[in-house]
Structure 1
Amino acid sequence: MNACISIVYYTSKTLSNGEHPLMLRISKDGKKKYNSIGVSVHPQFWDFTKNQPKRSCPNRDAILRLITEKTKQYQEQLIEFKAENKEFTATTLVEKLTNPTKPKTVGELFTEQIERFKTAKRTGYALSILQVYNSLIKYNKHLNIYFSDIDVTWLKKYEQWLRSTGFAENTIGIRLRTLRAIYNIALEQKIVKPDYYPFKSYKVSKLHSVTAKRAMTKDNVTAVINYDYTNKSFYTELAVDLFTFSYFMGGINFVDMAYITHAHIIDNRLIYTRTKTHKLINLPLQPKAIELIEKYRTKERPYIPDSFYVP
């Protein structure tokens, strides 16, 4: 059933000055919803036959324009619902217009996502988004823009700017894939309409080049583990120990190392849930890993090793 939108002189409510409010009535599926347009009129100035202000009504032209504007807003929203084949009620139609979703700028959504991934302890991904955020600030000077402003031409200019700053092909691809991921979040949150989506025409897949494999040899790994950091800085020693701990404990990454505690050691095994994949990891503790755990153990903090938190 189609919705019907009409203006009503709401006599069921009388204001202290004797006037009655003008309401929009939305009727659908046998149910009605009323919403005030913010104007009231005294009965002596209302033409009940024509359902409009009399010619003698003060501010008549302004009231008629307001009625037309408000009715148009509801009709346009009604058309949008139909175009999207979206089910709605009289109540949801009113709520859509009276409590609209506050639009977010590109900068606001970026900072929101950075904080979200930090809270989820996905530090690496948060940092990658932050890198793109800073890059876009340098390029555009600000991000107080809406996602509808980012079109194919804008993306091509950004790509050209990245090339001019000396970034490699794969790095440019990473920047733009991250931007595309944030744009997809904007679509999911209905911050921008799908009609504006520029990545249908602008293909990020073209920004890829094959690189030579750079895996470390066993000799390289041994050289790092056996590196003599005597008289070197604390951070040099820590870097070697982090690498060593990761190597002997199945390649555990830095984020997981930063959050595991002594409570994760059960029956001489390290058992933890990987932050990125949420997969349960269960590994036997190697003698060298145990040596490093004891090296950094303190009573004040439970983390392994505690020196991750040394300023």
Structure 2
Amino acid sequence: MTKWARNYLENSANDTELFYKEFISKLREAANMSMPKIKQSRTDHKDAWYYCERVKELNATQCQRKGRTEQSIHPNTQEEADNIARNFTERTKSHNLPQTTWEKINEISPARWRKINTACNMPDDTDTPFTMEELNSALSKGKRETAPGADAITYSMLRHMGNPAKQIYLLLVNRTYAEHTRPKKWQQQDTQPIPKPKEPGAYRPMSLISCTQEVAERIVLNRLLWKVGPLYQRLYAYREVVGTHECLTDVLCAINGRKSIVVFLDLVKVYELANAATILSSLVRKRIKGNLLTWTKGYMQDRGYIKTEKQE
């Protein structure tokens, strides 16, 4: 991988999609050569199939003891994934909002998009290419390991691919940032229907996102947070070292032992009905522009899904 990366830096493909495919192909090839796909045990059992079946039997027994029934995957995973995608698409349509709300959104949307597009074309100090320090920071703060997306690239592969290969990946991220192009795989989520443990016959979607995409998003997010500045102090979600405990502590401190009525609101479809123009226009008001705004705009648009079959 290191030898290929050193040569490739001088002759990289001009097309972003081809660049991405060549990088993924070589990273898979290097991983397959250096790491076995299946962890080898110290003892090679001749009756390995017996132990596999025994594990399944014990798992089924535990499920029966806990009052659960063992569920298998959907018999037609592609059909179920299509149904989940259609239901989600229907939930995200603006007509699910109150009529006065979506009429107002449609009224102000053209003016919002004009401001967004104007800001995207404006130069900014955040247009500079990302550095190796930013990449290493994103890799160190990422998940230790997680299920890979459709490209089958894991976090461990990205962390151990060596500095020359990291430079290739950083070149790919900087190209998407400067040229406003993204690999098609980064716009698609691998949707897998997973059985719900307490609802027999019901399935929930699990979206497997490419780790190469997640690392790129984290690099951009870190720069975006730096540009925006400190977030509102009463915002408890999606902030480092801040969560539900801090929220409840502030509430209890405000009550201070007095009789009080606390109201908790659960907003229905808050994520499905999030409006891209509203979010981007808020970023424009916070002086976000140039490549940083354009990359974020591309991230929020033209999203899709795919369904890949499990490979043994």
Task: Name the structure with the higher strand share.
Answer: 1
Give the alignment's TM-score, normalised by structure 2. Answer: 0.23
Task: Name the structure with the higher helix share.
Answer: 2
Structure with more contact order per residue of length (Cα contacts < 8 Å, sep ≥ 6) = 2
